[in-house]
Structure 1
Amino acid sequence: MSSPAFAGRRLAPVVAGLLAAAAQAQTSTLAPVQITGNPLRSETTATPATVLAGDELVLRRGASLGETLAGQPGVASTWFGPNANRPVIRGLDGDRIRILENAGASFDASSLSFDHAVPIDPLVVERVEVLRGPAALLYGGNAVGGVVNTIDNRIPRQPVRSLGGAVEARVGGADAERGGAALVESGNGELAVHVDAFGRETSDLHVPRFTPVDAGVPLDPATRVRNSAARASGGALGLSRTSADGYIGIAGDLLDSRYGVVAEPDVTIRLERERLALAGERRGLDGALRSLRAQFSRTVYRHQEIEGGGEVGTTFDHRGSAGRIELEHAPLGAWRGVVGLQGEEAVFSALGEEAFVPGTRTRSLGLFALEEADWSGGRFGAGVRVERVRVASDGDAAGAEPRFGAPAERRFTPGSASLSNLWTFRPGWGLATTLSLTQRAPTSFELFANGVHAATGAYERGDASLAAERSRHAELALQWQRGEDRLRAGVYVARFANYIALEVTGNTVEDVPEYVFRAVRARFAGLEVEGRHRLLEAPWTLTLEGNASLTRASNADTGAPLPRIAPLRALLALEAAQGPWRLRAEVDHAARQDRFGAGDQATPGWTLLNLALARRVALAGSEALWFLKLNNAGDRLATSASALQTVRDLAPLPGRALKAGLRVVF
């Protein structure tokens, strides 16, 4: 694979050129419509969702999706150090959480192993939408826990009639970040061009003084997380033909990233990804169809695990193609809805010392339909999805040491169905109810793994006889909104008939404990509360915000807690604003986690104080936002209960650090 054309060292002249054009440029913005899980573009939905965009996203943007979404209700992270940090939603992670780019599939290896990063840099993301709870109906069985959809404008979707763009620079933080991004868009109202580039470099993460523990052996006290530095660069080029009724476009992007693996002090991962995407939409059609949306993408992903001497230990290669089409039909009486078709094909291989899974090919094809109707009891929705999934193993490669056996293949037909209702029983008050049945086909590693997994420090063994995972979900939420004030409080429960868990057997293989993928009964239950209240209007606006979430997850066969479940977490923030100024103070609290699975241990609670100051500035036809953030102002030692125990002992959460940034939109 080739390295990205937009390397970090070339970013400075790009930024300078864009700033030179700022004086005569204007910006183009998209309407703030929730995209994820909302194909009918309804103003409100029954599914709980979080949206980060604009100034809020700029201030919360981190080096990874997991860090960016920290503090959102129901969201935790795998926290394999600052670089490999995948979102966890309501206690579910890995293949049960779908990571999307502009509602399309993102092919990588992050769900296979905790030390594999998600190849999406938040620096070039304009909007992040998070669906909490099952989204299998629209996105497949591996969205049983939720969806994280990153949205950019690399394929322009609205007419662009002038030159515009944005430049962002950031420095500081616990990882001593030096980073920046720039994008420019231009068009004549019909043709639109988008170009962006970014670069980021970080040092080993600064943390409060602690004693690292490696394989049970205490090391010297430290204030840095070993081997956690990183650097990344990338860019994209997109072209669209747009009109008032839709668009059709193409974009290509490149990413090159190198980062250390905190669990292995002499291992560095080099990650490269190339992606080509096509997308289009046509609205305002007459006849039976009212709109059509389609997209296709092709991804070539590779990462190499490089040993201290420079030799390549293991190479992971993942190549995938995905296509999706949605058709919105004309109203049928009170009913309006969409039908869609989604297909994906992924070819995966792992070669080298730590290859614990064989080469595999996974194909899926899904057909779905979603319908909505307004009635006296609110807005009622119903949907169904049927998939056909094929997972094939190449078995042992010619001449290789026997491990995976002969080639094998499994076929599954997962189905999902959902019912929802949003009842507005008084002005501003609503009651949201959802019921769903979901099925998820086992992944290639759950079926065919057989080897030592260095990231988990375990010998993992798959089970080729596993059946599709089946679950039932129910959720009830009360929501209220009046002006700037809002409140949502909900409870949910999920019961899995055969939850595919990785369980310790008590045996030792190749000097590490053996873990086996097994189907067990499991139960998840939780609550989420989030709200916002305007305390004062003038001369300063003063706003109180907060959220709290709790998930309890157990093996229903044994009653034992499931591993790596985040404890009760609550965030309370006070924000003051006047004119261009914005000040924010937030207290982030996690309770002690005393419910832990086999091989784990209790995680201490913690409380962190974060402060932020931001100001908007007008610059000759452009607008700038500069900010200062002081995170973990008390320099408290904190660890993540949703991280692996081996990494928890090596990589605490970031210590006290000041970060500064500037974003110019023109």
Structure 2
Amino acid sequence: MYRVNTLALAIACALSVSVSAQTTSGQTTAGKGASDKRDALEEVNVTVSPLEKPADAVAAPVSVLKGDELRKAASATLGQTLNSQLGVANASFGGGVGLPVIRGQSANRVKVLNDNLDTADASNTSSDHAASVEPLLAESIEILRGPATLRYGSGAIGGVVNVLDGRIPTEVPEQMEGAVEMRHDTANGQDAGVFRLQGGAGNLAWYLDGVYRENGNTEIPGLAIREHGEHEEHAHDAHEEHEEEHHEDELNSDFNTDGFVGNTNARAKSGSAGLSWVTETGFIGLSVNRLENNYGIPLGTHNHTHEDEHGEEEHGEEDHALEEEHDHEEEHAHEEHTEEEGPAAVRIDMAQTRYDLKGEHRFNSEYWNKLTFRLGHNNYEHVELEAHGDHFHEGTRFTNDAWEGRVELTHDDGSEWRGAYGLQLSRKDFAAVGEEAFVRPSITDSIGAFTMKEREWGDWHMDLGARLENVNIDPEFGREQDFNLVSLSGALQYFLAEHQHLSASLTSAERAPVAEELYADGAHLAESRYLIGDDALDKENSVNLELGYHHHNQEASGWHAAKVEANVFYNRIGDYIYAANTGVEDEESEFDIFGYQNRDATFYGAEASVQFPLADTLSLTLFGDSVRASFDDRIAGESRSVPRLPPLRYGFAVSGDYANWNWQWRNTHATAQDRPGAFEEPTEAYTRMDLTAQYNFKLAGSDGTVFASARNLLDEEIRNATSLLRDFAPEPGRSVEAGVRFHF
């Protein structure tokens, strides 16, 4: 009851402030068209809408992270970068992996895009696979909360994260421009450097960027591994006397570290080059990107395999070696560990080369507006490396040779209706090869066609859309699968005043199961899970209802400048596909068995944020988000809770903005997640306090910025409920990140 009341209070505050702003402003737009209102809103258009609409005018809840706000939030992983956004959580897997969770949905239900095309990596295959995008190079990141299947396909049934990096220029700069940035983070001793250059002459524009990032082990308060005996499966305080009861806990003690998470060092580098030919009616450009990332999987997640390989006689020697390794790591917590990690270390060595082609043509027509096209090819692979003694050997090699293309044609003749037509095609040739390959190689082909229409009359605005899609999955061994999918969407907005509106949307979407859900059968070392797919799985069908309120007037002053966003949603997913923890252990690998299955589920929740000025230079923001989900049917002896959901979060932020510098103090409280799902462990509540500041200056004609962020100032032990590694790798403790950035 406390969770519901807390968020209800936040929404009530948001709505009361907005109503006050409406009634005191004295500015109404009765008799004006919605087009006039849209023009008065913020003019920065989001690319998640093909109809050139600002985020404030999109019916679905869209957040845009850009500029100084993005530079402050940017981290080594995408999930960590977006963790403070409404409705978004971080599914961390040690310091090298952080994937976004939107309203409790992740992996194959959240589409991570690179400039409107799928990243085509392996991040949706397993929680230990990092997304192949670099937040430090992003110009902006768009987050669409809720189904976006109409434009992006069935993989976007839960939401979209679109990372825009500008590597394909769309216009020719008047002069060469660039930026360089250097930063250091005490949480893991990370050093990072970024540069960006762009220029051109005549009709030719070019672009270059690069990033290098290296870090040691992640510092934490206390022990890395939480012994299972400290927490009963369904309560917090029941079985401390059984701390040493299970053999698993005895093994974990050999892998445990104090004050840091072992084997979380990483090194990454990325570089891009782009070239475009720009004319008065459009452009065409191409780019190439190379990304290499080597990161460790936290110790203790995969200990059973070593016992199985070496036998009981060698186990004592192995424990002795691990104890020596533990002592070594305590002495060198910040040093890089590769071969020195010993037999417990598992690493991911990832590399990809990506090619992109992008173009746009603007018509001189009374009806057609513009034609845009995108084509991308990604050659991705990563190897899971397992250490034995001082040597690593290759465990499983994952590859994904993927193509995706999309064409969109928009029209707007000034009449009642305007809209877009689109066609999307993709092919993914995915393989996992090696001793511990848990999913069969397969080729997935998809083709989708969609249309989106909108019209406005008086104070009303309506959006309609439909998509037809076919997904074909052809495994190397097994039964070929073919799915026909239909998605429909409708949204209605009512503008109460020039800068505020109510919205209601209803979306029906379908998602086809992916290769690992259908064909998995084997132990996955990095995750410590034995996965079993089911080639008889049905497609998911989701019906999502959303109600929202938005108020934003940047040009106003005083209380009229309050920025308010509030949304409630209800999402009924028939035949929801998830990997169920069976509570049974595989005898050979000694990993818990997780089996993919269909089960009806219901997700519901709310998000609210209200920002209002306290003075000319100060503002206060109140925020909160919550999602709950349960399976519709009951299984005797098992929890109905959907596993790994983020808990209720709420908090406040106080910001100061002055001539040359600004700062923000942010305080977030996350409640305990005591509904972890069947055979899952709960997580404790925590309060996270962060402080950021930056100072802008001029140096030799260039704009410079010095910035610093103090994170987790209370040094709380934070274990993400969304993470498979919550018992092995808590989030970083108290740390400071600081750096300098120059624009020229």
Give, in angstroms, the shift of residue 143 of structure 1. 0.2
Task: Give the secondary structure class of the aligned counterpart of 1:147.
Answer: strand
Q: Does 1:163 align with 2:239?
A: no
User: Counterparts in 2 of 1:371-382, with a 5 A limit?
Assistant: 371-382=453-464
Instruction: Report the CA distance between 1:210 and its aligned residue.
Output: 2.4
**Native 8 Å contact 1:161 1:189 kept in 2:** no
Question: Structure 1, residues 368-414: CA drift from partner, whole Å, max 9, x if none?
Answer: 0000000235110000000011001101xxxxxxxxxxx32000011
Distance in 2 of aligned mates of 1:441 and 1:548: 32
Offset at residue 461 of structure 1 (A): 1.1
The answer to whether the Cα contact below 8 Å between 1:160 and 1:189 also exists between their aligned partners in 2 is: no
Residue aligning to 1:19: none
Aligned 8 A contact 1:123 1:180 in 2: no
Distance 1:190 1:478 in 2: 44
Q: Distance in 1 between matches of 2:657 and 2:496?
A: 34
| Aligned positions of 1:433-512 closer than 5 A | 433-482=504-553, 483=556, 484-509=561-586, 510=588, 511-512=590-591
Provide the secondary structure at the position in 2 that maps to 1:536. Answer: coil
- The residue correspondences of 1:384-423 to structure 2 (distance < 5 A) are 384-395=466-477, 407-423=478-494
SS in 1 for 2:181: strand
Of 411, 418, 424, 2:495 maps to: 424
Q: TM-score, normalised by structure 2?
A: 0.81
Greater percentage in helix: 2
Identify the residue that residue 103 of structure 1 maps to in structure 2: 116
In structure 2, distance between residues paired with 1:86 and 1:411: 28
Q: Distance in 2 between matches of 1:238 and 1:35?
A: 22
Separation in structure 2 between the aligned mates of residue 478 and residue 71 of structure 1, nearest angstrom? 20
The CA deviation at 1:213 is 4.1
Counterpart of 2:670 in structure 1 is 590
Instruction: Give matches, 1:534-553, under 5 Å.
Output: 534-537=613-616, 541-553=617-629
Equivalence for 2:44: 33
Q: CA deviation at 1:310?
A: 2.0
Query: Which letter maps to 2:397?
Result: T
Map 1:220-231 → 2, pairs under 5 A:
220=256, 222-231=258-267
Q: How many residues are treated as equivalent by the alignment?
A: 620
From 346, 353, 356, the equivalent of 2:438 is 356
2:680 to 600, 604, 607: 600
Q: Under a length normalisation based on structure 1, what TM-score does the superposition of the two structures give?
A: 0.91
1:583 corresponds to which letter in structure 2?
W
Report how far residue 332 of structure 1 moved: 7.6
- 1:137 matched to 2:217: no
Question: Structure 1 residues 222 and 506 mapped into 2: Cα distance closer, same or farther (>3 Å)?
Answer: closer
8 Å Cα contact 1:254/1:274 also seen in 2 = yes
Paired position in structure 2 for 1:555: 631
Is residue 698 of structure 2 the alignment partner of residue 618 of structure 1? Answer: yes
Aligned equivalent of 1:383: 465
Q: Within 5 A, what are the aligned runs for 1:147-186?
A: 147-186=160-199
Give the structure 2 partner of residue 22 of structure 1. none
Q: Cα distance 1:376–1:32, how it changes in 2: closer, same or farther (>3 A)?
A: closer
Rounded to whole Å, the distance in 1 between the matches of 2:641 and 2:407 is 40
8 Å CA contact 1:382–1:420 kept in 2: the answer is yes
Contact 2:368-2:413 at 8 Å conserved across structures: no
Query: Does residue 249 of structure 2 align to residue 216 of structure 1?
Result: yes
8 Å CA contact retained: 2:346, 2:526: no
1:55 and 1:312 map into 2 onto residues whose CA distance is 41
Asked if 1:648 corresponds to 2:648, the answer is no
Separation (CA, whole Å) in 1 of partners of 2:723 and 2:507 = 29
Question: Whole-Å Cα distance in 2 between the matches of residues 147 and 34 of structure 1?
Answer: 16
After TM superposition, give the deviation of residue 514 of structure 1 in Å.
2.2
Closer/same/farther in 2, CA of residues 651 and 211 from structure 1, 3 Å limit: closer
Please report how far the alpha carbon of residue 599 of structure 1 lies from its aligned counterpart in structure 2 after TM superposition. Answer: 1.3
Of the three residues 159, 171, 192, the one matched with 2:205 is 192
In 2, the alpha carbon distance for the partners of 1:353 and 1:195 equals: 40
Which letter does structure 1 place at the counterpart of 2:665? Answer: A
Letter in 2 for 1:339: Y
Q: Is the 8 A contact 1:581 1:614 kept in 2?
A: yes
CA distance in 1, matches of 2:434, 2:180: 41
1:126–1:152 Cα contact (<8 Å) kept: yes
The alignment-based identity, stated in percent, is 34
* Alpha-carbon distance change, 506 to 181 in structure 1, aligned in 2, over 3 angstroms: closer
Q: Contact 2:429–2:442 (CA<8 Å) still a contact in 1?
A: yes
What is the match of residue 32 of structure 2?
A: none
Q: Does 2:80 align with 1:67?
A: yes
Alignment of 1:567 onto 2:580: no
Instruction: Please say if 1:314 is aligned against 2:327.
Output: no
Deviates most, 653-662 or 481-490: 481-490
**Does the 8 Å contact 2:534/2:597 carry over to 1?**
yes
User: What CA deviation, in whole Å up to 9, does each residue of 1:72-128 have, x standing for no partner?
Assistant: 110011111121111000000110000000011111111111111111111111111
**CA RMSD for the aligned pairs?**
1.6
| Secondary structure of residue in 2 paired with 1:123 | helix
C-alpha distance in 2 between matches for 1:330 and 1:319: 37
Shift of 1:428: 2.8
Local SS of the residue matching 2:708: strand
State how far apart, in whole Å, the 2-side matches of 1:216 and 1:434 are.
49
2:368 counterpart (289, 292, 296): 289
Q: In the alignment, which residue of structure 1 is the partner of 2:308?
A: none
Task: Go from structure 1 to structure 2 and tell me whether the alpha carbon gap of 1:369 and 1:332 turns closer, same or farther (over 3 Å shift).
Answer: farther
CA distance in 2: counterparts of 1:289 and 1:365, whole angstroms: 24
Structure ranking higher in strand proportion: 1
Does structure 2 retain, via aligned residues, the 8 Å contact 1:36–1:131? no
How far apart are the structure 2 equivalents of 1:279 and 1:285?
20
**Cα deviation 1:135-165 (Å, max 9, x = unaligned):** 0011001101000000011100122221111
In 2, the alpha carbon distance for the partners of 1:102 and 1:49 equals 16
CA distance in 2, matches of 1:377, 1:185: 43
Question: Which amino acid in the other structure matches residue 412 of structure 1?
Answer: F
Q: CA deviation at 1:33?
A: 2.8
* Cα pair 1:304 1:315 within 8 Å, conserved: yes
Cα deviation for residue 221 of structure 1 reads 5.2
Q: What corresponds to 2:238 in structure 1?
A: none
One-letter code of the match for 1:273? Q
Distance of 1:85 and 1:132 partners within structure 2: 18
Mapped contact 1:524–1:553 kept (Cα < 8 A): yes
Aligned to 1:206: 219
Say if 2:224 and 2:260, in contact at 8 Å, map to a contact too.
no
- Any idea what SS the aligned residue of 2:424 has? strand
Shift of 1:211: 5.1
Task: From the CA coordinates, give the structure whose radius of gyration is larger.
Answer: 2
Per mean C-alpha deviation after superposition, the further-off stretch among 372-381 and 329-338 is 329-338
Q: Is the 8 A contact 2:426 2:446 kept in 1?
A: yes
User: What is aligned with 1:404?
Assistant: none
Q: Is the 8 A contact 2:184 2:737 kept in 1?
A: yes
Deviations 1:513-532 (A, max 9, x none): 32211111100000000121
Q: CA deviation at 1:603?
A: 0.8
1:186–1:212: structure 2 CA closer, same or farther, 3 Å change rule? same
1:513 aligns with 2:592: yes
Consecutive unaligned residues in structure 1, runs of 5 or more: 1-30, 396-406
Determine the structure 1 residue equivalent to 2:324.
Answer: none
Q: Which amino acid aligns with 2:49?
A: N
SS in 1 for 2:613: strand
Which residue does the alignment assign to 2:11? none
In structure 2, distance between residues paired with 1:269 and 1:596: 28
SS of alignment partner, residue 705 of structure 2? strand
> Residue 42 of structure 1 aligns with which residue?
53
Q: Which amino acid aligns with 2:728?
A: L
| Contact 2:224–2:729 (8 Å) recurs in 1 | no
Give how far 1:352 is off: 1.1
1:183 partner letter: R
- 2:297 counterpart (237, 252, 261): 261
